[in-house]
Chains A and B, each alone.
Chain A
Amino acid sequence: MFLETFFKTQKYCHHDGSRHSHPHLHPDRGGSGISIKKSGTREIKVVRRVLDINEKMAQQNRSIFAAKGIFVLNVMSSPGSGKTTTLEKTLAQIASEIKSAVIVGDICTTNDADRLAVTGVPVVQINTDEFGGDCHLAAHVIEKAVGGLDLDDIDLLIIENVGNLVCPAEFDIGEDTRVVVLSVTEGEDKPAKYPLMFRECEVALLNKVDLLPYLDYDKQKAINFIHQIHPDMPVFEISAKTEEGFQPWIEWLKAKVREKAGGGEHSA
C-alpha cells in the first residue's frame, strides 16, 4: 500500500496510467486537491520533485548533445584524487582520434583549466563562486558554459565536476555517463561512506596505483567495497602519473564516443 502510493507520487501517474512530469491537481480524486485539516489549515497537494527545474534543464542539455552526437562524461571524485591529471593524460592519448572539449568546475581558480588547455582542446572553466560557491555543477551552469564551445566540432565533452563525493551525485547535468575517480591514498571504505556516488556512476577509476608499494592500502578491499555498493561495476586500475593501466579505460571511452556518434545526426 505504501509503495503503491509512492509509485503514483514518483511518476505523477494519472488513473489511466499515463504519466507526466508536472504535478497538478486531480479533480477526480479528493475534489480540488485541497483538503481541510482539523487545525483549520487547508492542505494543497503539490507533488513535485524539488529539483525538477534542474532535471528539466538537464534534459534540454541532453537533447542538444544527442542532436549533435556528442558523448558527455561527468567525472566526479573527492578533491585530490587526480581527476585533472587523469584527464590531461586521457585527452593526450585520444587526441589523434577524437575531437574533445572540457568543462571544468571549481569553486575558485582557473588552475585546472590552465593545465587542461595545454592539451590543446577547448576548455571552459566554471567557477561556482559566481553561483554562490556551489559544491557541485548544476544543469543551468552547463547550459551557459556550452555557449562557449563549438558543438559541431566535438564528439566528446568531458565535464570535470567540483571535487566532492556528496552533492554532485544529486544533480543531473545532461550527461550520458558518470565516472568516479577514487585514489589509493584515500580510505578503502570510501564507497561505503558515499554510496549514492558509487551507485550513480557507471565505472570507477582507481587511481595512483603506482603508489601501492609504498602504502598499506588494501586494493582488493577497496574493490570489494565498490562492488558491495555497485555490484559488477567496472573498475579500471590506473596511474595517471605513469599511465599504467590506461589502455582498457581509453578503449572503453572510445567505444562510448563511437556508439554515441553513430546514433546522432552526424557520424564520426
Chain B
Amino acid sequence: MHEMGIALQIIEIATESIPPDAGDVRIEKINLKIGKLAAVVPDSLRFCFDVAVKDTPLDGAKLVIQELPVVARCRDCDTQWTISSPAFTCENCNSGSLEILSGRELDIESIEIAQEDSHVS
C-alpha cells in the first residue's frame, strides 16, 4: 500500500548515487534486493516507479528486483533453512528461538548508468 512512497525514496537515492563527475548520464537500471518478508509487492512497486518517473530524467529506467527468501537459523540446534510457509519454528527441533538471516531486505544494491550520447536502443 505504501509502494509509491518507497518508489519515491528509491528515485531519490538513485539520483543521489550518480557520481558528481559522471557528466550527462541516464540511469538505465536500478538493482534492488527485496526480502519475501518485506511488506512490499514487487509488481506494485514497479507500477508506482513507472508512474513516478514519467517525464523525469529517470523515465525509462528499469527496476531489477531480486527477491530474497526468508532464511532462518535456529539458536538452539543451529539448523539453517528456508522458510516457505508461515511457520516460524525450527524444522529440525521445533524450537521457536530463531534468528532471521534474510527476508527483511529492502535495499538498493546498485544503479547502472549510460552516457546520454552512447545510448543505443
Residues on A facing B (Cβ under 8 Å): 3, 6-7, 9-10, 34, 37, 39-53, 132, 134-136, 138, 164, 166-167, 169-170, 191-193, 195-196, 199, 227-232
Q: How far is the CA of A71 from the CA of B102 in the complex (A)?
A: 29
Mask of B91-114 contacts with A, CB within 8 angstroms, 1/0 = 000011100111001111111111
Are B2 and A228 within 8 A (Cβ)?
Answer: no
Are A10 and B88 within 8 A (Cβ)?
Answer: no
Residues of B contacting A42 with CB < 8 Å?
A: 22, 112-114
Are A44 and B110 within 8 A (Cβ)?
Answer: yes
Are B96 and A164 within 8 A (Cβ)?
Answer: no
Q: Which listed residue, B22, B40, B71, B108, touches A46 by the CB 8 Å rule?
A: B108
Number of residue pairs spanning A and B whose beta carbons lie under 8 angstroms apart: 122
What are 23 contact pairs spanning A and B, CB under 8 A? A3-B71, A7-B101, A39-B28, A41-B28, A42-B112, A44-B110, A44-B113, A46-B17, A46-B111, A47-B107, A50-B6, A50-B13, A51-B106, A52-B13, A135-B1, A138-B5, A167-B2, A170-B38, A192-B86, A196-B38, A228-B87, A229-B86, A231-B96
Are A51 and B9 within 8 A (Cβ)?
Answer: yes
**Is B48 an interface residue when CB atoms closer than 8 A count as contact?**
no
Q: Which listed residue, B37, B86, B102, touches A6 by the CB 8 Å rule?
A: B102
Interchain nearest-CB distance for A133 vs B (Å): 10
Interface of A is mostly: mixed
Q: How far is the CA of A34 from the CA of B22 in the complex (A)?
A: 11
Are A50 and B18 within 8 A (Cβ)?
Answer: no
Q: Which listed residue, B68, B106, B111, touches A49 by the CB 8 Å rule?
A: B106
Q: How far is the CA of A3 from the CA of B28 in the complex (A)?
A: 27
Residue on A with the closest CB to B19?
A: A44
Are A195 and B37 within 8 A (Cβ)?
Answer: yes
Q: How far is the CA of A18 from the CA of B91 in the complex (A)?
A: 33
**Is B58 an interface residue when CB atoms closer than 8 A count as contact?**
no
Residues of B contacting A48 with CB < 8 Å?
A: 13, 17, 107-108
Are B86 and A43 within 8 A (Cβ)?
Answer: no
**Is B46 an interface residue when CB atoms closer than 8 A count as contact?**
no
Are B110 and A43 within 8 A (Cβ)?
Answer: yes
